[in-house]
Amino acid sequence: MRQIILDTETTGLEWKKGNRVVEIGCVELLERRPTGRTYHQYINPQREFEQGAAEVTGLSLEFLSDKPLFAAIADEFLAFIDGAELVIHNAAFDVGFLDYELSRLGEPYGRLADRVTVEDSLLLARQRFPGQRNSLDALCKRLGVDNTHRQLHGALLDAQLLCEVYLYLTAGQREIGFGGAEDATSGAPAAMAHQFDPSAVGARPKVSASEDELAAHEARLATLRKKAGGRCLWDPPVFEVG
């Protein structure tokens, strides 16, 4: 399965108020393994930031003034994600903004749902940690993902952190080892083609039950069979012949 971990940054909290996407960051997984392919792009929103958004991203319209419009990068972005499962934290937010951007380009561009499926990692986290804070920062702290270099929100950095968090949430995989190149003039991540070393990912752990554990399991099944009158849910099915 091909998955894309995706994050966006925007000029504000609501696309219905005309706020725009200013940054997209993506990390590609194939069969749950990082491929080394990423997508990162800053975008000129042609409008000012709301104050809160400017503070959390550290971006400004001045910095983005020479960056391409969404219309100029749409085809490249859609080609990168086409046919994948997108993993997004609080997916409704990012999908709403991206669908809004696509709608501005006209009917032929459709919606994200025409091209991809979406899994919301926030919903996964809430299922695993009900009643707890499940922001990206909170999950990094809880799951031992190093986010000490995250001083501001950035789409590619957040996608890389979410990738580690997602693999912990779903399989406990560790040590992905992202690299973080930075733009020499702005201190912001450089656009496009960031790479990290997939070989830094350790082998998946293989866990096998011990003989004592197997014996305890069988004893428990025997108790359940007795209560159920002969068979229990975990017994293999019996097919009658003839």
List the 85-88 sheet strands across, edge first: 33-42, 21-30, 2-10, 85-88, 117-120
Note the helical H segments in the chain. Answer: 51-57, 61-64, 70-81, 91-103, 121-128, 136-143, 155-170, 211-228
Q: How far is CA 170 from the centre of its chain?
A: 12
What is the DSSP track for 178-211?
A: ------TTTSSPPSS-----GGGSPPPP-----H
Sign of CA dihedral 139, 190, 40, 71: positive
Residue 83 falls in which region: left (phi positive, over 0), alpha (psi -120 to 50) or beta:
left
Sign of CA dihedral 123, 127, 131, 132: negative
Q: Do residues 22 and 50 touch, judged by C-beta distance below 8 A?
A: no
Of 40, 89, 149, 153, which residue is the catalytic one? 153
Q: Do residues 70 and 21 touch, judged by C-beta distance below 8 A?
A: yes
Known catalytic residue: 153?
Answer: yes
Enumerate the active-site residues.
153
